[in-house]
């Protein structure tokens, strides 16, 4: 029996890499990837050739070439970077023209409503609305926030190698408000299940590993590291002020990446730890299917297991060469 063909965009990125690995491991798909010509000689792209998968080199703006590539593709999965989200519009147009049976746009974020809560969420919603206007079959997958960006740094510095924030000792909003967090490695496993499941067609699906508060996260790191962590508390009222101040001078683009990261981070925090958006109950209210209900046999990695890896120096360095401060 012929395996359904899946085309992945963003295969060398953090989320895309997880999805690629798990699609290949599942063995149920004929996996292909789309690469821009400007990226075709990068080491991460050249490494894909060792995986014995079909690699298409094309510009997403080349609608004619794109439609040819998409002919016969069952599912398109986009894990495209945030600076290129608008490129999903010609991609969706070509997918519609080619008769693609399922389009998975780049969601893979926290649960939040549209409408000026999170700029990056509203940007994604514009793509979702375009897909619906096309009457293109879709599945939108949100994943909470990664374990890999949710841990505090410890005084000894032994977690610094894997942290995007240095130092990271700030608790934003309500310390005891629980939010959904996920190991990035589990995202791909869920995506492989979801994209093969007819129950998820034209649905939003919520994926997460654990539901923990910031205080619980700090406490777990303290327990396993044996180190006492500093806590810099930013109460909800101050968080809202900081968010509004950052927004006031923001151009709502990625021309200044430092400012973009600051606004995005503060908006995420307000949504998660003041509004309590990123949780299973609110996701169900918004109409999401819960992946835990759909796939009870899959047991996601625990945050505790991730912290043990982190403290042993075995966590992936997803942000090598990058660091930010509040």
CA-based nearest residue to 208, from 145, 293, 270 = 145
Q: Do 69 and 201 have their domain in common?
A: yes
Instruction: Please state the pTM of the whole predicted model.
Output: 0.96
Report yes or no on 218 lying in a domain. yes
- Stretch 106-130: mean pLDDT, rounded? 97
Q: What is the pLDDT of residues 45-62, one digit of tens each?
A: 999 989 989 999 999 888
> What is the chain's mean pLDDT, rounded?
96
Whether 133 and 154 share a structural domain: no
Indicate if 150 and 62 belong to the same structural domain.
no
Does a structural domain hold residue 226? yes
Which segments within the chain are labelled E, that is strand?
5-9, 30-35, 54-57, 75-78, 102-104, 139-142, 145-146, 170-172, 179-182, 203-206, 210-212, 232-234, 289-290
Active site residues: 124
The domain that holds 253 is classified in CATH as 3.90.25.10
Number of domains within the chain: 2
Sheet with 5-9, side-by-side order of all strands: 54-57, 30-35, 5-9, 75-78, 102-104
Residues 269 and 138 in one domain: no
Residue 295 lies in a domain: no
316 located within any domain: no
Whole-number Å distance between alpha carbons of 66 and 269: 38
CATH code, 52: 3.40.50.720
Q: Are residues 106 and 196 in the same domain?
A: yes
pLDDT given for residue 324 in this prediction? 62
- Of the candidate ranges 120-129, 181-190, 316-325, the one whose mean pLDDT is the lowest: 316-325
| pLDDT for res 320 | 73
Is residue 169 situated within a structural domain?
yes
Domain range spanning residue 268? 146-181+210-276+301-311
**Residues 45 and 131 occupy one common structural domain:** yes
Could you report the per-residue pLDDT of 32-41, keeping only the tens digit for each? 999 999 999 9
Percent of the chain past pLDDT 90, that is, above it, reads 93
Q: Is residue 128 situated within a structural domain?
A: yes
72 shares its domain with 168: no
Identify whether 131 is part of a domain: yes
**Is the same domain home to 43 and 55?**
yes
pLDDT of residue 319: 81
pLDDT tens for 196-249 read 999 999 999 999 999 999 999 999 999 999 999 999 999 999 999 999 999 999
- Tell me, yes or no, whether 54 and 34 share the same domain: yes
- Residue 108 shares a structural domain with residue 247: no
pLDDT one-digit tens code per residue, 67-110: 999 999 999 999 999 999 999 999 999 999 999 999 999 999 99
24 shares its domain with 171: no
256 shares its domain with 305: yes
136-151 average pLDDT score: 98
Q: Does the residue 262 lie in any domain?
A: yes
């Amino acid at each position: 029996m012929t395996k359904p063909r899946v085309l992945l965009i963003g295969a060398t990125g953090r989320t895309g890499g997880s999805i690629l690995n798990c699609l290949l491991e599942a063995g149920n798909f004929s996996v292909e990837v789309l690469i821009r010509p400007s990226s075709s000689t990068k080491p991460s792209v050249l490494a894909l050739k060792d995986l014995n998968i079909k690699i298409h080199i094309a510009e997403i703006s080349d609608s004619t070439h794109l439609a040819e590539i998409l002919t016969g593709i069952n599912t398109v999965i986009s894990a495209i970077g945030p600076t290129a989200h608008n490129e999903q519009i010609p991609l969706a147009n070509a997918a519609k023209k080619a008769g693609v049976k399922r389009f998975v746009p780049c969601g893979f974020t926290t649960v939040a409503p549209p409408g000026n809560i999170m700029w990056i969420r509203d940007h994604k919603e514009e793509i979702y609305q375009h897909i619906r206007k096309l009457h293109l079959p879709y599945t939108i997958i949100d994943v909470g926030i990664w374990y890999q960006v949710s841990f505090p740094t410890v005084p000894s510095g032994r977690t610094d190698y894997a942290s995007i924030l240095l130092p990271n000792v700030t608790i934003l909003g309500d310390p005891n408000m629980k939010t959904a967090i996920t190991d990035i490695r589990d995202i791909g496993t869920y995506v492989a299940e979801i994209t093969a499941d007819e129950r998820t067609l034209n649905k939003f699906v919520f994926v997460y590993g654990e539901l923990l508060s910031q205080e619980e996260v700090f406490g777990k790191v303290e327990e396993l590291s044996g180190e006492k962590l500093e806590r810099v508390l930013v109460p909800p009222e101050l968080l809202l002020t900081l968010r509004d101040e950052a927004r006031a001078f923001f151009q709502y683009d990625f021309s200044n990446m430092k400012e973009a990261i600051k606004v995005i981070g503060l908006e995420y925090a307000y949504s998660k730890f003041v509004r309590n958006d990123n949780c299973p109950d609110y996701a169900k209210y918004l109409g999401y299917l819960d992946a835990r209900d759909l796939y009870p046999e899959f047991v996601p990695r625990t945050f505790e297991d991730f912290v043990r890896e982190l403290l042993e120096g075995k966590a992936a360095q997803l942000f090598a060469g990058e660091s930010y401060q509040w």
